[in-house]
Amino acid sequence: MMFMRVSTASLLLLIAAALLPAPATAQGWFPWFGGGYRPSRPAPGGVFDSLRPWDAPRTKPAKKEAKPGEETPKASETPPPPYEGDFSRLAEILGALHYLGPLCGEKEKERWRGEMQGLLETEQPSADRRDRLVGSFNRGYQSYEQTYRNCTPAADLAIHRFLDEGARLSRDIATRYGN
């Protein structure tokens, strides 16, 4: 078997040539002009169906009337509080700590779940909002459950960072929005 000897410079040129982007087509860059990735024509009522000539009067779409046996969906009575994003992140942190804490030797196995339960009892969110917060807690738990099986230095570092971030978030929420 005979091997060809390739110089470093020619190898770098081959790699650079392979990494050069190919010229893009209009469809690749702008899929919304002319169909693009859509397999068929969009359903009526989309953005492009609302285009009108400049001098044409504006018309509002007709409202769909509810039938007597159907219930109309109600908008949520109260909007979410302004700290909803921070509160959701705090729930996710508590979920991650609930998994990582016992993994790294924490004695109280239910500490962080209890903290989350206490927050939910104090906050008394609507059922929909409660489901979102519980989902954030579960997402934090499951993301670290998939990553860590043993306590590693990285898991220990994550615990310390979560403790710092959780303390900061809870302090900020209490300071900004507390009574």
Map out the domains of the chain as residue ranges.
84-177
Please enumerate in sequence order all residues whose Cβ is within 8 A of that of 126, keeping only pairs 6 or more positions apart, or say none. 76, 77, 78
Residue 50 pLDDT > 60: no
Higher-scoring residue by pLDDT: 127, 40 = 127
Per-residue model confidence (pLDDT) at position 33? 45
In this prediction, what percent of the chain has a pLDDT beyond 90? 41
Q: Does pLDDT of 111 surpass 60?
A: yes
- The whole-number pLDDT of residue 81 equals 86
Element (H, E) at 108: none
pLDDT value of residue 31 = 47
